Amino acid sequence: MSFLLPQGCRAFIKNIVAPNDGAKKFILFDAFYCSLMVGIDARKLGIKEDLESEVFLNGYPEDYKGQADIIAGLLIDAELDRKAIEPENKASIEREMTRLVNPTATTRLSDTGNDLLNLYAASGFKLIQDSMMAPASLEEFLVAYYQLWHRDSAVAE
């Protein structure tokens, strides 16, 4: 699975990505994941042009490997909701799951699922950019990200 960062993400988070010194840090995948969660919650896809052309990571980093099934489940839930597939429509749910999931992949996603994950991250990053200034510190980002999730109106609005 190949992850693509949303356009502008590197510049936006440049002040909070720590050098690789072995200490806990905010990594590029953390920015991707934060963007992904916002995009999935909004049930909104970005477009391919909103993504960098170069892969920044193949597969989940170590700290995220245990979350592969959860991320796949969130993607399935978002796609079922976005496509308005009713819970009673078992055949359509099965088709979507077959389209999105590859149980043998380390990420548990098919190429289509991978592409959609990147597009959800792209839309989520746009929502993040619209909601906050580029952070000067990790603490500033975390406070603004928290506020994004706890503001009066939903992210999807």
pLDDT tens for 61-113 read 998 999 999 999 999 999 999 999 999 999 999 999 999 999 998 888 999 99
Name the residue among 46, 6, 15, 40 with its Cα closest to residue 142.
15
What pLDDT, in 10s, does the model give residues 11-67?
999 999 876 555 558 889 999 999 999 999 999 999 999 999 999 998 999 989 999
Q: Is residue 143 part of a domain?
A: yes
Name the residue among 56, 74, 58 with its Cα closest to residue 117.
74
Q: Is residue 24 part of a domain?
A: yes
pLDDT score of 17: 86
Q: In angstroms, rounded to a whole number, what is the distance separating the alpha carbons of residues 59 and 85?
A: 29
pLDDT score of 155: 47
φ, ψ of residue 87 in degrees (nearest 5): -60, -25
Q: Is residue 157 part of a domain?
A: no
pLDDT score of 81: 96
Residue 90's Cβ-count burial label (10 Å; 0-12, 13-18, 19+) is: exposed
Name the residue among 119, 127, 120, 122 with its Cα closest to residue 144.
127
Q: Is residue 26 part of a domain?
A: yes
Q: Is residue 156 part of a domain?
A: no
pLDDT score of 19: 65
Confidence of residue 157 (pLDDT cuts 50, 70, 90): very low
- Whether the full predicted model's pTM is greater than 0.85, yes or no, is yes
Q: Is residue 130 part of a domain?
A: yes
Total domain count for the chain? 1
Strands (DSSP E) contained in the chain are 2-3, 57-58
Q: Is residue 155 part of a domain?
A: no
